[in-house]
Structure 1
Amino acid sequence: QDDEFMQRKEKAIKAVTDIFEVYKPQRKYKRQKGAEELLDEESKVHATLLEYGRRYGFSRQAGKTEQAEDKKIAVPPGLAAAVKAEPCDEDDLQAAEELRIKTLMTGMAAMAKEESWADLAHVSFSCISSFLDLDVMHIRQAKCMQSELSAEERPERLGAAQQHRRKVASLNKQILQKTKLLEELQAKCTDLQAKCTEAKKTLTEVKSYSEKLDKELAALETIESQADSSILQSLRALVAMNENLKSQEQEFKAHCREEMERLQQSIENLKAETVENGEEQEPNKIIEQQYKTEKDKLQKIRLLLARRNREIAILQRKIDEVPSRAELTQYQKRFIELYSQVSATHKETKQFFTLYNTLDDKKVYLEKEVNLLNSIHDNFHQAMSSSGSREQFLRQMEQIVEGIKQNRMKMEKKKQENKMRRDQLNDEYLELLEKQRLYFKTVKEFKEECRKNEILLSKLKVSSS
């Protein structure tokens, strides 16, 4: 802050210097070469002041201003005689002064104003830009100084006593402002020192507490390294559970307190309403009695409704047990499919039985044939040894051939019977297929008629309604 104050101070001094440079006396008129030469020193001084836009002497306005300020500011003792020695007839002095000014101004020419105003604008802009970095107090000080300098630049020249008084007042004002600023800075410095001391004290306490915690933490770590890990984990879990239970207990207590307060408030409200409505107790009793009566009626109606609902449920179950037309059709399809599967399985099984019986018969006949051939082969040499045995062998062979022919005839007859039975069964099957087609056709026509009947019934209901 001190560095910042010094920087601002330097900028303020520079700004004031620039202001003095800007508002320094500037030459506005210049005596012509062919003008009359001035002889006395007072005329030369007066002409020089007129060249810079100043007047030598006092005007009426200046005198009045000075008198008004004399009432407020005390005049120094050294300047009291100069003030008393002023002439009393100000009108005559003013007329003589105006005549002298006109005489001197006839021999002067105006200077080029563009250059002076350009310099003034340039320097004023630099002064204003330097003011932007100042605080409000410094800007006010510079403004006061600028107003004083601009007052000095007026065409009317003020007296030495008034200039002195103004400078003294300006300096006193600056002293007061600087003193006030110094007091504020000292107060701020005192506050900052107190805060710094308090912060240092707090820092020392925090450091000591941190060292203490570090020592305790190191001791706990040594104890933890020596202890059993399973016990430590169980202890940590128990500690966490304890903390959780404590927090839950606090929350539950807070909730219970809130609920108790709410219930107490409700009780108080009900008591207040009861006290207010004490006169209406008898109507309340009548209303309660009516409420009980209506409640009993409602209970009886509910029981009756439950009984009716049970009856309706029983009837609904009985109705559901009766299959509808769609369900019957579905059942029929499923039964037909099941019959087809059973029929196919039965047919396949029957074929297996027939094949087995055929193969078994074939096996029996082959065994008989093999036995016959074996017996012929065994007895052939003995039968060929004599003529009697040969004849007997031939007769036996003829008998065997006759038996085979008879068996063949029987099998042919059995075959014809089976064929006839097959044809008969096939005819019966065709008749059954025809009946089945007729049945399906009849069922289809019946369904169509039922559908037409339902349509007609619906139309009749619509027309009757």
Structure 2
Amino acid sequence: MAVATSVFHRVRTGSKIGAQYDQDGNLIQVETREDEEQSVKLTEILELLLAAGYFRARIKGLSPFDKVVGGMTWCITTCNFDIDVDLLFQENSTIGQKISLTEKIVSVLPKMKCPHRLEPHQIQGLDFIHIFPVIQWLVKRAIETREEMGDYVRAYSISQFQKSHSLPEDKEFVQRKDKAVRAVLDVLEVYKPQRKYRRHRNAEELLDEESRVHSTLLEYGRILLRSSSSLLFAPFQVDEGKVSLAGGSQAASHGVVDVSEEEDLQAVEEVRTLFTDLCFQGKLTASAVGQLVGLQSEEIKQFASEYAEKQLELSSEEHEHYGPLQQHHRVVASLNKQIQQKTKELGEVCRSLCQRLWGKELVCLEEVEEQADRRLLDKLRALVTMNENLKQQEQEFRTHCREEMARLQRNIQELKSASGQDTEEEKERDQLIDKQYNTGREKLQKIRLLMARRNREIAILQRKIDEVPSRAELTQYQKRFIELYSQVSATHKETKQFFTLYNTLDDKKVYLEKEVNLLNSIHDNFQQAMSSSAAKEQFLKQMEQIVEGIKQNRIKMEKKKQENKMRRDQLNDEYLELLDKQRLYFKTVKDFKEVRKACA
């Protein structure tokens, strides 16, 4: 049990990194301090997580890192974003696991369009000041997502319930709905418009909208109120495709005469023509009365009075129907006139304002000229005049040069054509010049190729020089390698302790099994051994042999323990010697730097 208990005193995971030493070889003591602002932010973060529903933050045995990272992961998963971590049953992670966790969390935040930036080292270093806004945003987003999902689940539950179940109110509503729909359809069927007449295909086309509306209404047995020139007499309106005409003794003898649709239309047109003439005449004449087919005098008077009443009604209704339209046209025309008038006034105002501005600018320029130095102003004017003259002279000089160049080129061409061909000396001289030119050109090309080759070599050397790390980079690499070595050594030490613990527990298990088997054997053979003295003596001898074997095993284990202690002491002595050498090395390096500074 002594061996087993010593194994449990192992380094807690991630709680300590390998020892670090300064230049003198002394152990570096790391100071730890509690930041009040950080602790306040941690408390606020935990309160936010508890308010959001992450109750693992109440567990006192968890570290702040586990609480914060667990809360962030819970919020991210609540917002329906995937993150490849599992924090439910894994606590006190190693440094490598913490780094991977923080990197995965930080990689998910941009996908969620988080407005706050966060780095993995800030989470690992527990920088709660920078973590707090991210936690606040995640909690808000998680609550919103949970509300949206709650509404969605509620609506889905209601729809699923309504598919298989229904309330009594719903059944009653469905029955009343069917009845109401049937009633509405019946009403629509009864009162739907029915065409009574049809316009002839060969009739002339109606151009204005009012005539088309009037024609359509006539087809369905309705009359549009129009002006007095096109007045329709309402009492003679065709009803259900039938017209009844009453006339003296014929009406009494023959009754009501049913005619076809064409005859009805002709009768209506005759009556319409008659009463249109009456409208223009303003009174009933004898000829108009004679045209009425055998109508009695009383009926004629009745129709005349009804005609006057209808004329008054139609004139009032015509004013009601077409008055707003004419009023609208008049308003539009007046508004257009006002717009044109305002546009003209605005143009005149703009012109007057421009003239005023020009006048003010001229006045300002005159005031500036009066306030400025007269000599300086005269000098500037002279310089401006000189500049204009120089520009004009330059333009004239350029024109003169072009003309002179053209004249000289013409002279050269004339001389070449007059001489016919060059002399032998001039040809040799031209050939020599061409040869020298070609030689110089080839030499220049070779020099350019050589320069390009040198530039490539210089670029290659420059890249090689850039690949060699500087002292600062080497220092960073060294620090990083030291950190990685510390992490690897801590992991190796932890793994070694796990193996030692496993081996110890396995040995303990073997010994306990042997002990249990021995006790079972003693218990089984005890009654039989106590039955006789010979069996009792044999049983005691076996027990002595077992005890002797246990003592031998104990002596072996003690010997092995002493050997391990001696080896530990030997390794400790070697470690102390190496520490002395390290201190001496740091001291020598320090002295060397001081001597080098003194020599420099």
TM over 0.5: no
TM class by shorter-chain length? Answer: 0.3 to 0.5
* Higher-RCO chain (CA-CA 8 Å, sequence separation at least 6): 2
The structure carrying a bigger helix percent of its residues is 1
The TM-score with structure 2 as length reference comes to 0.28
